[in-house]
Structure 1
Amino acid sequence: MPPDLPPIPPEKPLPSDCCESGCDRCVFDIYAEELAYYEQQLAAWRERNPGRDPEQVR
């Protein structure tokens, strides 16, 4: 069975990554969605791995 590794957080976009043209799905919107998914996955990982520090597992 493969090891249960914690999820990897999404990379935050730089301010210069946004073109500021009002895109329907701005890079910051996508980042917010990815961050919410990451937080859900991290919470599930912590439930499966109580007491473990995700930073120490990687």
Structure 2
Amino acid sequence: MHDSAASSPDPRPIAPQPPAPNECCESGCPLCVHDLYAEELMRYRQALAAWEARQPAVSRPEAQ
């Protein structure tokens, strides 16, 4: 099996998986799984924006 993302020298970042509904205990933890996910999502979006900026420009039809 060939995984093109793994063999790419600059693979696209992979989005984090949201926590499952049963992963939050709803007890007001100081560091909730939803907080951790939000931080991971922010880092992913930053990494994705940086990755997209490194990719060659794709010709797009001009908007009329």
Same-fold status (TM-score > 0.5): yes
For the aligned residue pairs, the C-alpha RMSD in angstroms reads 1.5
Return the TM-score normalized by structure 2. Answer: 0.72
- Asked if 1:24 is matched to 2:30, the reply is yes
Scaled by the length of structure 1, the TM-score of the pair is 0.79
Bigger share in helix: 1
User: Which structure has the higher relative contact order (CA within 8 Å, separation 6+)?
Assistant: 1
Where does structure 2 lack aligned partners over 5 or more consecutive residues? 1-7, 59-64
How far apart in 1 are the matches of 2:33 and 2:49? 24
Q: Which residue pairs with 1:33 in the alignment?
A: 39
Matched pairs, number: 51
What 5-or-longer segments of structure 1 have no aligned partner? 53-58
Instruction: Identify the match of residue 45 of structure 1 among 37, 48, 51.
Output: 51
